[in-house]
Amino acid sequence: MSEAATLTRKADFPGLVTPEGEVWHYLDTAASAQKPQAVVDAMACALGRDYATVHRGVYGRSAQMTLGYEAARRRVAEFIGAASENEVVFVRGATEAINLVAATWGMTRIGEGDRIILSTLEHHSNIVPWQMLAERTGAKIQVCPLTPDGQIDLGALEALLTPRTKLVSLAHVSNVLGSVLDARKAADLAHSVGAKILLDGCQAAPRMTLDMTALDCDFYAFSGHKLYGPTGIGVLWAREELLEHMPPYQGGGAMIETVAFDRTTYAPPPQRFEAGTPMITEAIALHAAIDYVDALGPDMLFAHEAGLARTLREELRKLNAVTLFGPEESAGIVSFALDGVHPHDLGTILDEENVAIRAGHHCAQPLMANLGVPATARASFGLYSDESDIDALLRGIERTRRIFG
Ligand code: PMP
């Protein structure tokens, strides 16, 4: 990405400026991305001028909104290479997507003594729903270890698989280390013993070209707010034949075919899994976000962010006072520790310099335990990031080192 193009991109994001009009060096995109003006505008129009509910109204505005909502579903399907828009379920976010799979597919397909394999680096939202399912069903959770540089060890995964393995659920890209899973290989391994595979695509969807057919996974989950869209919307993709046999998640309006006190029948997927008035404006704004990202090209974003991560790692290494976690080649996410400085103190001092990083366990406490630290500092890049953000971070780190002597 050329410098000029990057600067143009920054100008598209109203959130990258402080209330005082200063540049804000936002390095927390892995937690949530800033939104381009096009998304803000789409949301404002959907909530204002165009607003009406979907599916129920006989009036034109409602019919228009229904078209907009369903167009968003088609756009998501196209963006992720789904075979059909019926495979796209709108949910609140990745967390809800994973809980939905655990509560529906999991409760009907997983039983006592069955195995669910996760990895050491999973986000809590890809751990806790499975623990809750295991408690209810008597299934067992197994943890696939990491390679020394922080990638999910597929050799170890292969060794863990048995015919009792019913599900493998892994992060496509780690939110802490930026490690990228060979997802197709993981899917092939899971399928070799008849298990299903869920990929947590929260960090992959904003920076990688996705193709559900090529990945050959069974479930894929991601959140709109990390993909430059609004909060409150996410996507569960699942193969149509799996969705068809899954019971509903929540009961209510919009997910039924007929309701009577003696018997209710359910709508086909995806409506079966979308009880209640859906996230109408959020879906329409997510459509705008996908248009924005797709116009740039996810592969280009990956290369841009991975390049910034490489540069940051090189610069941090030169300080001789930093521990770097994770692989050398990462998807735009760099976790580190500055000698003698708690990540929270670093984050607080950087904030005074208009630099926003994340400090903490990043909802990955088992990974922190594995790394032997309570927390890390994490800088994560987005499509609007550039070297000026790295320079600001390095200046802030120098100042922190001076303060801490
Ligand atoms: N998985 C990963 C890898 C994540 O980074 C996140 C968000 N930090 C989640 C799951 C949960 O996403 P959400 O909170 O949007 O549901």
Domain ranges of the chain: 3-27+297-403, 43-295
Note whether ipTM > 0.90 here. Answer: yes
Task: Name which of 385, 379, 395 is nearest 24 in CA terms.
Answer: 385
* Segment 282-328, tens digit of pLDDT: 999 999 999 999 999 999 999 999 999 999 999 999 999 999 999 99
**Alpha carbon of 308 to ligand 1 centroid (Å):** 22
Concerning whether 144 is annotated as a catalytic residue, the answer is: no
Q: Determine which residue's CA is closest to atom 8 belonging to ligand 1.
A: 31
Average pLDDT over residues 121-149: 98
Asked if 12 and 384 count as a contact pair (C-beta separation under 8 A), the reply is yes
Per-residue pLDDT band for 373 (boundaries 50, 70, 90) equals: very high
Token readout for 289 is 């976000």
Q: Which pLDDT value is given to residue 7?
A: 39
Average pLDDT over residues 127-143: 98
* Rounded-to-integer distance, Cα 151 and Cα 154, Å: 9
Q: Determine which residue's CA is closest to atom 6 belonging to ligand 1.
A: 202
* Segment 65-119, tens digit of pLDDT: 999 999 999 999 999 999 999 999 999 999 999 999 999 999 999 999 999 999 9
Residue that has been written with the tokens 């100008």 in this structure: 11
Per-residue DSSP letters for 342-367?
-HHHHHHHHHHTTEE-EEE-TT-HHH
Asked if 151 and 176 count as a contact pair (C-beta separation under 8 A), the reply is no
**Alpha carbon of 94 to ligand 1 centroid (Å):** 6
Mean pLDDT over each residue of the chain, to the nearest integer: 96
**Alpha carbon of 202 to ligand 1 centroid (Å):** 6
* Segment 230-274, tens digit of pLDDT: 999 999 999 999 999 999 999 999 999 999 999 999 999 999 999
3-27+297-403 matches 43-295 in fold:
no
Task: Name which of 63, 46, 45 is nearest 54 in CA terms.
Answer: 63
Per-residue pLDDT band for 9 (boundaries 50, 70, 90) equals: confident
Report the percentage of the chain scoring pLDDT > 90: 97
Compute how many other C-beta atoms are within 10 angstroms of the C-beta atom of residue 53. Answer: 14
Give the fold, CATH level 3, of 3-27+297-403: Aspartate Aminotransferase, domain 1 (3.90.1150)
* Segment 36-63, tens digit of pLDDT: 999 999 999 999 999 999 987 789 999 9
Asked if 215 and 205 count as a contact pair (C-beta separation under 8 A), the reply is no
Q: Where are the alpha helices (DSSP H) in 195-297?
A: 212-215, 240-244, 280-296
User: Beta 115-119 vs 140-144: how paired, if at all?
Assistant: parallel
Architecture of the domain spanning 43-295: 3-Layer(aba) Sandwich (3.40)
User: Beta 234-238 vs 88-91: how paired, if at all?
Assistant: antiparallel
Residues 6+ apart with CB under 8 A from 194: 163
* Rounded-to-integer distance, Cα 112 and Cα 134, Å: 8
Which protein residues are within 6 Å of ligand 1, measured from CB? 31, 93-95, 123, 125-126, 171, 175, 200, 202-203, 223, 363
Task: Name which of 39, 32, 31, 47 is nearest 13 in CA terms.
Answer: 39
Q: Determine which residue's CA is closest to atom 14 belonging to ligand 1.
A: 95
SS3 83: coil
Q: Which pLDDT value is given to residue 405?
A: 82
Cα–Cα distance list, 54 to 58, 174, 259, 390 (Å): 10, 36, 20, 44
Q: Where are the alpha helices (DSSP H) in 107-219?
A: 107-109, 128-137, 154-160, 183-192, 212-215
Q: Please tell me whether the peptide bond between 278 and the residue prior to it is cis, using omega within 30 degrees of 0.
A: no
- Which ligand 1 atom is the nearest neighbour of the CA of 94? 16
Say yes or no to pLDDT of 4 above 50.
no
**Alpha carbon of 63 to ligand 1 centroid (Å):** 33
Cα–Cα distance list, 63 to 57, 77, 88, 275, 315 (Å): 7, 21, 20, 19, 54
Per-residue pLDDT band for 3 (boundaries 50, 70, 90) equals: very low
Q: Which pLDDT value is given to residue 8?
A: 62
Say yes or no to pLDDT of 2 above 90.
no
Per-residue pLDDT band for 1 (boundaries 50, 70, 90) equals: very low
* Rounded-to-integer distance, Cα 372 and Cα 366, Å: 10
167 beta partners? 116, 196
Q: Which pLDDT value is given to residue 6?
A: 55
